[in-house]
Amino acid sequence: MQNKIRLLVADDSASVRKVLTEGISSDPQVEIVGVARNGIEAVELVGKLKPDVVTLDVEMPRMSGIEALERIMADQPTPVVMVSSLTGEGTATTIRALELGAVDFALKKASHGSVAVRDLIDELLEKIHAAAASNVIGLAESKSAADESAQDDDLQLASSHIRVALIASSTGGPQALRMVIPALPRDLATPVLVVQHLPAGFTARMAASLDTASPLKVEEAKPGVRLEAGKVLIAPGGVHMRVSKIGTIRLSLEDRECGVRPSANPTMESLAEVYGEATLGVVLTGMGTDATRGAGLIKAAGGTIIAEDESTCVVYGMPKSVATAGYVDKVVPLTRMASEIARRCQVQERAA
């Protein structure tokens, strides 16, 4: 018999705690082992009870949810799902939580009707189950490790013809991207595209956060923007991103693929068509199979695919799917991903 998911609920509102605990308890696979009224209690109970998953409110007295999250990830790395009205309206707060290690987030709706409550509980239960299967310890350990330097034989094998790089990520992606993008060199010789599964409105905040931390220019992609060496363009939430034959961004509201929009597949498909063997595809942590079809197209065009190693993935879904399909040229832990991308994204003049 499968063990129940042991859950800690943290929220400063007694009424919200009651709604959440009653609703979540309807799932026989989830056991609520503790309830916290503020951030300090949440941190203490995580250490004492060692739950499988924590749902954590953002606005709480004595210690905020963001401060509590940071303490939890430092002291006792545990899968956390943020639950707050701020996670919708305060997108910067959400991005900060995801960068600190929250696995996912859910939004308390302005309406408190039965339908809104049921929708929230259904969403939470889905994300609690997903969080319980995640690996936050591997990523927490990798954050403390420096980006390892390449061996000489790696340098000899590095490609010199890459003209564009695409990074695909989902669950755990914002934290992984926070480790990779700022570590890329200022003089990177190729443009970098990023497809991270996030709703509309969140990717602009993520781009701004990464831009502040990075030597490269990081922007949310806009229609008609040209790809430039050393610039990072992030697909906007809610739309697919493609690259035209003249190297400019195209955005579309085509149907979701793999249940998501943006999906990495349309972007990878267009890169395979435009850049062919000069394309580098990088698949980071994430749930599902997005990027598998696109990786196959890049490989068929002669391009290169790198996948994140299972040991550092929060969710080993997307990289596993691509690897199982036989499309991966190299598997790299997150601690080495930035240097691996940099080595492969050199123009021939610099590699000579």
The answer to the question of residue 138 being in a domain is no
Is 129 marked active-site? no
Pick from 260, 72, 279, 286: which is nearest to 176 by CA?
Answer: 286
Q: Which of 84, 106, 133 is the last residue of a domain?
A: 133
How far apart, in whole angstroms, are the C-alpha atoms of residue 118 and residue 110? 14
Summarize pLDDT for 185-243 with one digit per residue, the tens. 999 999 999 999 998 889 999 999 999 999 999 999 999 999 999 999 999 999 999 99
Q: Rounded to 10 degrees, what is the CA torsion of 107, 108, 110, 112? A: 140
346 domain-assigned: yes
CATH number at residue 206: 3.40.50.180
CB 117, CB 19: distance < 8 Å:
yes
Does the pLDDT at position 159 exceed 70?
no
228: in domain: yes
Residue 89 lies in a domain: yes
Whether residue 123 is found in the same domain as residue 159: no
261/339 same-domain check? yes
* CATH code at position 124: 3.40.50.2300
Lowest mean pLDDT among 139-153, 180-194, 268-282: 139-153
Query: What confidence tier does 149 reach under pLDDT thresholds 50, 70, 90?
Result: very low
Q: For residues 113 and 248, state if they share a domain.
A: no
Percent of the chain with pLDDT over 70: 89
Q: Which residue has the tokens 């990289």?
A: 319
The one catalytic residue in 11, 52, 290, 309 is 290
Residue 140 lies in a domain: no
Does 325 lie in the same domain as 210? yes
Q: Could you confirm whether 161 is annotated as catalytic? A: no
Once rounded to an integer, what is the mean pLDDT over residues 271-285?
A: 98
Structure tokens at 20: 């959440």
Residue 347 placed within a domain: yes
Q: Which two tokens stand for residue 172?
A: 């755990």
pLDDT in tens, 23-66: 999 999 999 999 999 999 999 999 999 999 999 998 888 899 99
Arithmetic mean of pLDDT over the chain: 90
| Pair (154, 129) in one structural domain | no
Q: Which domain holds residue 278?
A: 150-351
Is 290 annotated in the active site?
A: yes
In order of 70, 172, 221, the CA distances from 143 in angstroms are: 13, 13, 28
Counted domains in the chain: 2
Question: Alpha-carbon distance 127 to 310, whole Å?
Answer: 20
Considering 134, 142, 170, 321, which one is annotated as catalytic?
A: 170
The catalytic residue among 197, 240, 263, 270 is 197
Judgement on whether residues 13 and 125 belong to the same structural domain of the protein: yes
